[in-house]
Amino acid sequence: MLSSRMALRRLQRIAVAPLSFTSGATTKVLRDMSTLPRVYVTRQIPPEGLKILQDSGQVQFELWDSDDVPVPRKELLQKVKGVDGLLCVLTEKIDAELLDAAGSNLKVVSTMSVGFDHLSLEELKKSRGIRVGYTPEVLTDAVAELTVALLLATSRRLIEATHEAKTGGWGTWRTLWLCGYELANSTVGILGLGRIGVAIAERLAPFKVKKFIYTDVAPRPELAKAINAEYVTLDELAKQSDFLSICCALTPETKEICNKNLFSKMKNTSIFINTSSHIRGGVVNQEDLYEALSTGQIAGAGLDVTVPEPLPTTHPLFTLKNCVILPHIASASYSTRNAMSALAANNLLLGLRSQPMIKELKL
């Protein structure tokens, strides 16, 4: 498993080396930058990825030099014309319009993301000969850590408490004021058991969790063994979980699977957490979640992913004290984001050399 700092060090070591030639003529041509493959980078990605591209000597690249504002669509369509490679992030829609604008030279799309719902897979599957790289696994540690942080902030009502302290609500000591729910002796449920789900459970185990349960499309005994988790039905997952962490992929079957039916089966003391960087918020019916939270059907929710993103500040979920919403920052650690950019850069260079990528999306 590629993960965090170890992943970054490994990716730095295996960064694609500059091509070497014995032919003086070939070397002379290679040094002429105009002959190198053209690449467009749609964002000011973290420095490790840019360094790999610069030091490789294999490409000439141009980038949208901002990390705050995505490249305007009109400019993106102009910049991709004739490029051999594209390194993008999840804010860019890679669809038929863009692929047609790029033209027949485009051979590699490398996305700095684990999710790929911004890529039109049907268009990429067509006879364009385009390969796709992506960046799974390296963000497992960061997402797991953020999940624990969000779970604790939600269950122990830390955002509420901070607000009360700042705004004068902190008065005399009260017996039940701002009381929350403990992990000790609790049952933690995981919807969709994969690398991230296992990593979350491993971090929660020292809090003296009594039992881990999970559901998936089928039992996953090898992964479950690592955390001593029990496979249960979705109904039982909802009924038994004191804390429910959502880690499943977004598919037609899981779209809005977290809905009124699921929330109605949960305990009124349960905490619902969704931090999966792969799925965004699509597995949750947010109107049903609002109803469950506002009526006390469940105790609280912590969300790092929503629909849409960003979630409008006027959305009803923002009015609830028992709902903590973060701006999709699960993978936001320096080591993880640098590892993602390094992996994306290596995928791009390897793809342009017609070699196996480190992580390639099989179309």
Question: 82-93: per-residue pLDDT in tens?
Answer: 999 999 999 999
The helix/strand count (H/E) of the chain reads as 14, 13
**Sheet architecture: strand order including 60-63:** 60-63, 38-41, 85-88, 108-111, 131-133, 360-361
For residue 132, what are its two tokens? 């796709």
Active-site residue 118, yes or no?
no
Determine the Cα–Cα distance for residues 220 and 65; give it in Å rounded to an integer: 44
What pLDDT was estimated at residue 117? Answer: 85
Residues contacting 43, CB < 8 A, separation 6+: 63, 64, 66, 67, 70, 71, 88, 89, 91, 112
One-letter amino acid for residue 285 of the chain: N
pLDDT band per the 50, 70, 90 thresholds, residue 169: very high
Determine the Cα–Cα distance for residues 141 and 273; give it in Å rounded to an integer: 17
All CATH 3.40.50.720 domain ranges in the chain, comma separated: 34-136+336-361, 139-169+176-325
Q: 């931090």: which residue's tokens? A: 275
Q: Which of 16-20, 83-87, 95-99, 358-362 has the lowest mean pLDDT?
A: 16-20
pLDDT band per the 50, 70, 90 thresholds, residue 24: very low
What number is the average pLDDT over the span 332-355? 97
Nearest to 54 by CA among 102, 78, 87, 82: 87
List 118, 163, 278, 328, catalytic entry: 328
193-230 pLDDT, tens digit per residue, is 999 999 999 999 999 999 999 999 999 999 999 999 99
Residues contacting 218, CB < 8 A, separation 6+: none
For residue 316, what are its two tokens? 């009803």
Topology of domain 34-136+336-361, CATH: Rossmann fold (3.40.50)
Residues in the chain: 363
Determine the Cα–Cα distance for residues 160 and 340; give it in Å rounded to an integer: 34
What pLDDT was estimated at residue 251? Answer: 84
Determine the Cα–Cα distance for residues 334 and 15; give it in Å rounded to an integer: 19
Percent of the chain with pLDDT over 70: 90
Topology of domain 139-169+176-325, CATH: Rossmann fold (3.40.50)
**Sheet architecture: strand order including 211-215:** 229-231, 211-215, 187-191, 243-246, 271-274, 300-303, 323-325
